[in-house]
Amino acid sequence: MFDKRILVVEDDALNALYFKEVLESKGYQVVGVAESSEMALIETRKLLPDLLLMDIGLKGKTNGIETARELKKYNIPIVFLTANNNKEVYQKAKEVKPAGYIIKPVDETELFNVVELAFSKKGRQVSKEVYLKELQKKYIIEEIGERPFLFFEQYYNKNIKKTLVVATTTRFNIQNQLEDSFETIINLQKTNNIQRVNKFFESVNGKLPVGGIFIGHAETKGLKKKMILEKYPPVFNYLFYILYFCYKRVWPKLPGLKKIYFILTKGRNRAMSRAEVLGRLYSCGFEVLEESFIDSNLHFVAKKIKEPSYDMHASYDLIFKMKRVGKNGKLINVYKFRTMHPYAEFLQDYILKHNGYSEIGKPAHDFRLTSWGRFMRRYWLDELPQLINVLKGEMKLVGIRPLSQRFLQEYPEDILKLRLKHKPGCVPPYVALLKQDVKEYIESEKIYLLEKEKNPYTTDIKYFFKAIYNIITNKIRSA
């Protein structure tokens, strides 16, 4: 680093060659030659030289003095060269506080003396911290590209000692750091290649304080599908995608075959949806601040808000259980066919915060839904496993819908007290009354509950047949 590395910025090729030969004959290392202001900026950021030999009269829109102003943040000493020996140019150059000033034609001895003097001046060399920071930035860009770096640059911690940058698939490389904690952790390896994703995220969580930043990326299932369909010719592309889907999405979820899959693949290049990636982050104690599809990856910036939930029963199987509020406020596990991507349940607040509710009382623009899930919801097939709850005595066939604690916050207190006196049902009132807007949804339950208290036996029968008729005639849809 401190071996007197020099970048020559000169638009005259013969002069540049001359300076290079003279400097190298004196034992300096010329790390590059830039012929324009733009190239000087790029090469300085990339090479981080110890000194810049800068021609003032560069061709183009930006001269050497203006270029030097932009490079001041690197704290690199600059020696100006100029053929224009007048007071005005000299005064402008002085404003930049160069380490030296040489009038062309350049004498070899003068060049050596001025360069040596520039190196000897205290405080002129680039500090180790600035150098390491720029070197770190360079490696990040080389690994994942400049666009992703610009996406998360504002969250990139300026204190290099508090920033951990790794390209790893194992939590060992997180836990084994000598520092107890970091303010920012950046993993340049795809999340798809991490075998135990949650354990990895939990390790990252453990190395961050509350408010600490975690930056990463993943290739989503949707992006992979698009790539396959565009890469292969028609018909063959769908055949290839079906094979890919069965191998990457179906096989790992079949009982008894999951272990075989991970033995064969080592967990690398797994298929993950956007919802699963973000949902896993939330389950591990993070809040997603930013997300963006750049090139072929989903890039995210997450903030630690709490310790991980260590949920060992996330919705990964065909039939899954949802925590819902039952009679008297008791929490029950409601069974459903999974229509959403894994870990989707952790994104409820995130979806509502960004998209709100649709006109039918469901979260709007809900990317958590799978394609087959939309089909099942359209015909209410996803609700069939709730019959298990009926047999267990936790629900009945017709009744108020089993809702999450989050959704119940939308309810007026009087209706909330009324609904807690009853068991939830598989067929909710809004289906019979065709009231699917959020406000109408609540109103439909109020109508049903008041009617139920007056006619406890006939109300459910009437609502059941009205609901079935509305579903068959497609007057109402679930999603």
Domain count, the chain: 4
Residue 129 has a pLDDT of: 66
136 and 203: one domain? yes
Residue 178 has a pLDDT of: 82
295 and 282: one domain? yes
Q: Is the pTM of this model over 0.75?
A: no
255 and 296: one domain? no
Q: Is residue 312 part of a domain?
A: no
Q: Is residue 451 part of a domain?
A: yes
Residue 319 has a pLDDT of: 84
93 and 136: one domain? no
Q: Please say if the pLDDT value at position 284 is more than 90.
A: yes
328 and 387: one domain? yes
179 and 240: one domain? no
Q: Is residue 334 part of a domain?
A: yes
Q: Is residue 309 part of a domain?
A: no
190 and 138: one domain? yes
Tens-place pLDDT, residues 4-47:
899 999 999 999 999 999 999 989 999 999 999 999 999 988 88
Tens-place pLDDT, residues 168-208:
999 989 998 888 899 999 999 999 999 889 999 999 999 99
The pLDDT mean for the chain works out to 87
Residue 478 has a pLDDT of: 64
Mean pLDDT, to the nearest integer, of 231-252? 85
Tens-place pLDDT, residues 62-96:
899 999 998 887 888 999 999 887 888 888 998 98
Domain edge (last residue) among 60, 90, 125: 125
Residue 381 has a pLDDT of: 87
144 and 284: one domain? yes
Here the CATH number for the domain that contains residue 156 is 3.40.50.150
Domain edge (last residue) among 57, 90, 125: 125
pLDDT category, 210, cuts 50, 70, 90?
A: very high
Tens-place pLDDT, residues 398-417:
999 999 888 888 888 888 99
Domain of residue 378, residue span: 319-472
88 and 73: one domain? yes
Residue 31 has a pLDDT of: 93
Q: Is residue 311 part of a domain?
A: no
Q: Is residue 136 part of a domain?
A: yes
297 and 378: one domain? no
Q: Is residue 478 part of a domain?
A: no
Of residues 120 and 240, the one with the higher pLDDT is 240
284 and 347: one domain? no
Mean pLDDT, to the nearest integer, of 130-139? 76
Contacts of 222 (CB under 8 A, 6+ apart): 273, 274
465 and 398: one domain? yes
Please state the φ and ψ torsions of residue 158, each to the nearest 5 degrees: -75, -20
Tens-place pLDDT, residues 295-327:
889 999 999 999 997 765 665 677 888 889 999
Mean pLDDT, to the nearest integer, of 265-269? 77
Q: Is residue 477 part of a domain?
A: no
Of residues 332 and 377, the one with the higher pLDDT is 332
